[in-house]
Amino acid sequence: MAAVFFYLFSGVLIASAFGVITARNPVHSVLFLILAFCNGAGLFLLQGAEFLAMILIVVYVGAVAVLFLFVVMMLDVDFAELKQGFQKYLPAGLGVGAVVLGELGFVAVGWTSAPSAGAAAASPILAHVTNTAALGQVLYTKYVIFFQVSALVLLTAMIGAIVLTLRHRPNVKRQNIDVQNARTAKTVVELKKVPSRAGV
């Protein structure tokens, strides 16, 4: 049954990846991408890497792909206008594609596996421990410093992106917390005595 599911997931994954690049509608491309991620998660589950499978579903499908979908649907990008210069860059694109294809072929022909790779994959490093627990033990013990440094790098990149894209426009009203907290009843409420039958 494992082989049947492997070929099923692989076939759907290849077909959906082909649909991503051939679909004319960008929304359909994103939906094909979500399908490809789900089948990739199934392949990870067959290999016993349940942590990678859940990360693929939660992060890529739940955040990245859905974000792509909302951006494409909300911005209403005119892809016909973007494709106008396609013919001009076609020779350069074909050249880069040929180089990448040649490199992949060279790797596929010269690739060899170590004799002990099969035995190492069959016997886990930590017995009676799940994949997620073993990964957590390694990350938070041996590589905890590198893990925290990578988190700081991502935080710095996020703050930099916010600072670069934040624009203060002069005609836009903004909230000032200090001014709001300093408001009192005397400064905002004015009582007036209106004469009877005089109106305001």
Three-state DSSP string of 139-174? HCCCCHHHHHHHHHHHHHHHHHHHHHHCCCCCCCCC
Domain end among 63, 78, 93 = 78
Q: Find the domain containing 12 and state its range.
A: 1-78
pLDDT confidence of residue 62 = 81
* Residue 136: inside a domain: yes
Residue 85 is assigned to a structural domain of this protein: no
> Total domain count for the chain?
2
Domain shared by 69 and 139, yes or no: no
pLDDT score at 123: 61
Q: Is residue 157 part of a domain?
A: yes
Among 78, 105, 140, which residue terminates a domain?
78
The pLDDT confidence band at residue 99, using thresholds 50, 70 and 90, is very high
Clarify whether residues 73 and 4 are in a common domain: yes
Task: Please tell me the predicted confidence (pLDDT) of residue 83.
Answer: 66
Helices (H), 49-85: 50-55, 66-75, 79-82
32 vs 87: which has the higher pLDDT? 32
65 lies in the same domain as 131: no
State the Cα–Cα distance between residues 92 and 113, nearest whole angstrom.
Answer: 35
Judge whether 53 lies within some domain: yes
**The domain that contains 26 carries what CATH number?**
1.20.120.1200
94 within a domain of the structure (yes/no): no
Tell me what pLDDT residue 182 has: 85
Q: For the full predicted model, state whether its pTM sits above 0.85.
A: no
- Give pLDDT, residue 195: 81
Q: What pLDDT digit, counting tens, does each position of 110-144 carry? A: 877 777 766 666 565 566 777 778 888 888 888 88
Residue 45 falls inside a structural domain: yes
Distance between CA atoms of 10 and 165, rounded to whole angstroms? 40
In a domain, 59, yes or no: yes
Task: Report pLDDT for 23.
Answer: 84
Q: If you average pLDDT over residues 41-54, what whole number do you get? A: 86
Say if residue 144 is in the same domain as residue 74: no
Token pair listed for 34: 């979500």
For residues 51 and 48, give the distance between their C-alpha atoms in angstroms, rounded to a whole number: 9
Residues 141-175 pLDDT 10s: 888 899 899 999 989 988 988 887 777 677 777 77
Least Cα distance to 36 among 65, 12, 67 occurs for 12
Residue 82's pLDDT band (cuts 50, 70, 90):
low
- Is the pLDDT score of 177 beyond 90? no
- The answer to whether 39 and 56 are in contact (CB under 8 A) is no
193 falls in which pLDDT band (50, 70, 90)?
confident
Domain for residue 115, yes or no? no
Q: Are residues 64 and 1 in the same domain?
A: yes
My answer on whether 64 and 135 are in the same domain is no
